[in-house]
Amino acid sequence: MADTNDLPLDGVKVIEFTHMVMGPTVGVILADLGAEVIKVEPPKGDNTRRLVGSGSGYFPMYNRNKKSLSLDLKSPEGLDIAHILVRQADVVIENFRPGTMDKLGLGYEVLSQLNERLIYCSEKGFLAGPYEHRTALDEVAQMMGGLAYMTGPPGRPLRAGSSVIDVMGGMFGVIGVLAALKQREITGKGQYVQSALFESTVFLVGQHMAQYAVTGQPANPMPVRISAWAIYEIFETADDEQVFVGVVSDTQWGKFCEAFGLEEWRDDPAYATNAERVRRRDDLIPQVKDLFRQYSKKDLMDKLEHMGLPFAPISRPEEMFDDPHLTQSGGLVELTIPDGEKTRLPALPLEMNGRKFGVRHDLPQIGEQSYDVLKAAGLDEERIRDLADRGVVKLAGKT
């Protein structure tokens, strides 16, 4: 487990009412940075724990470094405990459907009256506007925000290969929370912070919107776009592997020609500038393909790395477990997944003063920290045991 001293958000207390990916992303980032994050779950636990298939990785990835409090929020006593916790908190996170938290008595208007310093972060499908009451998912946002259109070939919209909008929306939520914490130092008051899937998607495709504004031409989907660079695609190697190679400047073009003994290309005025090379791309690319097919994947990458040119093997997620850079640099952190096995998952992709952020608390069992959280909130042992006996709270190992 990581050293707990001097973490940037040490002393910040967060109450998390979330599920799935977007809300938990806010919590895990704040937790990795040192905040105390209390994840409030129903007595049966967050339903995300029980997802299968492509959802089976959600809970392990986005819930480390958190404490689990299993609490029946639909009971009067459970709601009262939630209010006690909120009075002591700096931040609340939620990502349920619009109106859900209000119905539970946990909306911003109620909680801000209990704690005027509270920063309340809502992760939603849409910000305020005509769509704000719609239910959205990552895929919904990618489809309607233009990202799926840009990702797939023409006529075949395709979502990105991970929950990229959920995670990005969570990151914007964290930015809002940190900004609100800073502003609170001046005003003494908290505020309502909101980020959303749809607007996060549109921010991502903003470069394509700007392209249209500048050129008057709609952006083509990425698989058929006119590349900004002549060499910028995936190539086959002699051993039937694939490597992406990019040559994105005139300086890199010179290095490329030098590396592969192509002095005639380097000295040809027809290839002198990137713009000229792009115009002649249909002639250039077949020759580069033939050239790269003479090399094995390893030999090609070694040559490109030696010359300092951009390249990438086409890797699969499961290959990241053994990636030498990640394993040697601390880019993966050890966790215990639900079956009791140990695994390693991506650390927060951030360093501060050369320090990475690790695991202080393994993935929690349902209600694993219920007793400690309630004790710290001021409840005595007799009351905690009574609440557990009546099913208002669940203590780990106690049904």
**Beta bridge partners of residue 36, listed in sequence order:** 13
**Beta bridge partners of residue 41, listed in sequence order:** 70
Residue 308 CA to residue 396 CA, distance in Å, equals: 53
What is the 3 state secondary structure string of the chain?
A: CCCCCCCCCCCCEEEEECCCCHHHHHHHHHHHCCCEEEEEECCCCCHHHHCCHHHCCHHHHHCCCEEEEEECCCCHHHHHHHHHHHHCCCEEEECCCCCHHHHHCCCHHHHHHHCCCCEEEEEECCCCCCCCCCCCCHHHHHHHCCHHHHHCCCCCCCCCCCCHHHHHHHHHHHHHHHHHHHHHHHHCCCCEEEEEHHHHHHHHCHHHHHHHHHHCCCCCCHHHCCCCCCEEEEEECCCCCEEEEEECCHHHHHHHHHHCCCHHHHHCHHHCCHHHHHHCHHHHHHHHHHHHCCCCHHHHHHHHHHHCCCEEECCCHHHHHHCHHHHHHCCEEEEECCCCCEEEEECCCCCECCECCCCCCCCCCCCCCHHHHHHHCCCCHHHHHHHHHCCCEECCCCC
- Closest by alpha carbon to 95, among 55, 150, 40? 40
Residue 372 annotated in active site: no
Residue 384 CA to residue 141 CA, distance in Å, equals: 42
Residue 92 CA to residue 104 CA, distance in Å, equals: 14
Tokens of 164: 């990229």
**Beta bridge partners of residue 345, listed in sequence order:** 333
Residue 20 CA to residue 46 CA, distance in Å, equals: 9
> Catalytic pick from 166, 250, 283, 380?
166
Residue 25 CA to residue 23 CA, distance in Å, equals: 5
Active site residue ranges = 166
